[in-house]
């Protein structure tokens, strides 16, 4: 995404744990000045698949661009470079594409399409309280937590509102 490589560290052990694993650690500067870092450690075995494919959807990093046109440009660029891309998906509040980076990290390129997309704290608090209350009531009554939360999500799906 045009991020500049701003630093790199090579070491023969992980400083925080002392594990003797040689690695390359690269830092790329993002538009807001923060950095995203990647590691390459050739002696490590490949990651195992998660126990359910949905983890591969839920666990991701989203990178924001300025417009729907920018998302579409990245979609075309990725596909043109042989990357499998999911979407674009119009979530009504954001517009996104999803793909994997060369390390297998799921990435999202997204842009807001509603000014409320990250300014809706009151509704978020209500949803969180409802989610917690339903779980607590199920725990007290012995109802199946998965079933009662599935019912709540059917009632409240943002895709149906
Ligand atoms: Fe996301």
- Mean per-residue pLDDT of the chain: 93
Q: What proportion of the chain, given as a percentage, has pLDDT over 70?
A: 98
> Is the Cβ–Cβ distance between 108 and 98 less than 8 Å?
yes
Q: How far is the CA of 99 from the centre of ligand 1 (A)?
A: 12
Per-residue pLDDT tens for 67-87? Answer: 999 999 999 999 999 999 999
Q: How far is the CA of 58 from the centre of ligand 1 (A)?
A: 8
DSSP for the chain?
A: ---EEEEEEEESS-TTT-----EEEEEEE-TTS-EEEEEE-TTSPPPPPPSSTHHHHHS-EEEE-S-HHHHHHHHHHHHHTT---EEEEE-SSEEEEEEE-TTS-EEEEEEESSTTTT--HHHHHHHHHHHHHHHHHHHHHT--HHHHHHHHHHHH-TTT-
Per-residue pLDDT tens for 8-46? Answer: 999 999 999 999 999 999 999 998 899 999 999 999 998
Q: How far is the CA of 53 from the centre of ligand 1 (A)?
A: 16
Q: What is the pLDDT of residue 161?
A: 61
Q: How far is the CA of 57 from the centre of ligand 1 (A)?
A: 9
Encode 106-134 in three state secondary structure: EEEEEEECCCCCCCCHHHHHHHHHHHHHH
Q: How far is the CA of 156 from the centre of ligand 1 (A)?
A: 19
Q: How far is the CA of 32 from the centre of ligand 1 (A)?
A: 18
Q: How far is the CA of 135 from the centre of ligand 1 (A)?
A: 24
Q: Is the pLDDT of residue 160 over 70?
A: no
Bridge partners, residue 154, by sequence: none
Q: How far is the CA of 11 from the centre of ligand 1 (A)?
A: 32
Q: What is the pTM of this model?
A: 0.84
Q: What is the pLDDT of residue 46?
A: 87
Q: How far is the CA of 60 from the centre of ligand 1 (A)?
A: 7
Q: What is the pLDDT of residue 27?
A: 97
Q: How far is the CA of 51 from the centre of ligand 1 (A)?
A: 20
Q: How far is the CA of 112 from the centre of ligand 1 (A)?
A: 11
């Amino acid at each position: 995404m045009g991020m500049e490589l701003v630093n790199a560290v090579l070491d023969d052990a992980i400083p925080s744990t002392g594990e003797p694993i040689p690695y390359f650690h690269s830092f790329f500067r993002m538009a807001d000045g923060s950095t995203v870092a990647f590691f390459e450690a050739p002696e490590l075995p490949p990651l195992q698949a998660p126990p359910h494919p949905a983890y591969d959807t839920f666990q991701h990093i989203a990178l924001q661009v300025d417009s729907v046109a920018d998302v579409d440009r990245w979609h075309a660029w990725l596909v043109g470079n042989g990357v499998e891309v999911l979407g674009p998906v119009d979530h009504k509040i954001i517009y996104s594409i999803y793909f994997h980076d060369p390390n297998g990290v799921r990435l999202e390129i997204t842009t807001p399409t509603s000014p409320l997309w990250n300014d809706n704290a009151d509704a978020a608090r209500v949803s969180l309280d409802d989610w917690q209350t339903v779980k607590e009531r199920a725990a007290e009554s012995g109802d199946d937590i998965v079933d009662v939360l599935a019912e709540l999500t059917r009632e409240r799906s943002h895709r149906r509102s």
